[in-house]
Amino acid sequence: MGLYTLAKNRKFKNFMARLYGWGASVVIIGVLFKLVHWPNADYLLIVGLGVEALIFFFSAFETPYTDPDWSLVYPELYNSYHGTENGNKPTERATAKLDDMLTNANIDSQMIDHLGRGLERFSKHTEQLSDITNAAVASNDFAEQVSKIADSMASLNRLYEKQLVDSNQQVESTAQLHETINHFMRNLNDSTSQMVEYKNNMDQLNEKMAALNKVYENMLSAMNVNK
């Protein structure tokens, strides 16, 4: 097996793809040793460059990349691969084949015209169906909006009822508070009246005690005179 035959082998191509990376890594390590002046840097650099030279030697036997003729799949690329001299041949060939197929199938211009009108009617029916569908969707949207409004009104009514109950409770609480204040004021007035009466009684008691003290003083004075 020659080198050219070996170079066409898929395993050899896969091995060469890896060998490029391995050889480059050896060269980089040799250069690194040389730059930082590590020991045996010269030997590693010689080994790395030797491996790289060997890789370039084997790469010379690799077959060049073959660009496929894409015009066989895409006729519009015929000019790019074969020039402009016969550039219209694939298109003309395809048109001729289409004409032959239409002739063999007994498809004439009248049938094509009928087909066009049928497609036009089908398009109109499709538009009408789309309008009906849109109307149905709009009706569904309207019903959904009405349902949301009804839910909102129900929530508003519940909120109003709650506010009304709270207001009634607040009025009742205010009335109870007012009654309590009135009761307190009545008790306070009664207490004031009692305090006034108690003060009057104390005043009278003081007056009587003063009079009694006066009598005692007179009695004591009289007793002292008799002695």
pLDDT of 112-156, one tens digit each? 777 777 778 877 777 777 666 666 666 677 677 777 777 877 777
Decide if 150 is inside a domain.
no
Decide if 23 is inside a domain.
yes
Ranges of residues in the chain whose predicted pLDDT is under 50 = 86-87
Decide if 84 is inside a domain.
no
Query: Containing domain of residue 14, as a range?
Result: 1-63
Cα 157 from Cα 140, distance rounded (Å)? 26
Q: Which positions ≥6 away from 124 have C-beta within 8 Å?
A: none
Report pLDDT for 87: 46
CA pseudo-torsion sign 75, 77, 80, 81 = negative
**For the stretch 19-37, what's the b/e string if a residue is b when 16 or more beta carbons lie within 10 angstroms of its beta carbon?**
beeebeebbeebeebeeee
Decide if 124 is inside a domain.
no
Decide if 115 is inside a domain.
no
Cα 199 from Cα 206, distance rounded (Å)? 10
Cα 218 from Cα 17, distance rounded (Å)? 147
Report pLDDT for 81: 67
Has this prediction a pTM greater than 0.75?
no
Q: What is the CB neighbour count within 10 angstroms for residue 78?
A: 20
Q: What is the CB neighbour count within 10 angstroms for residue 124?
A: 10
Report pLDDT for 144: 79
Decide if 20 is inside a domain.
yes
Decide if 160 is inside a domain.
no
List C-alpha distances in Å: 164 to 27, 56, 156, 223: 91, 96, 12, 87
In the chain, the number of structural domains is 1
Q: What angle do CA 140, 146, 152 make, to 5 degrees?
A: 140
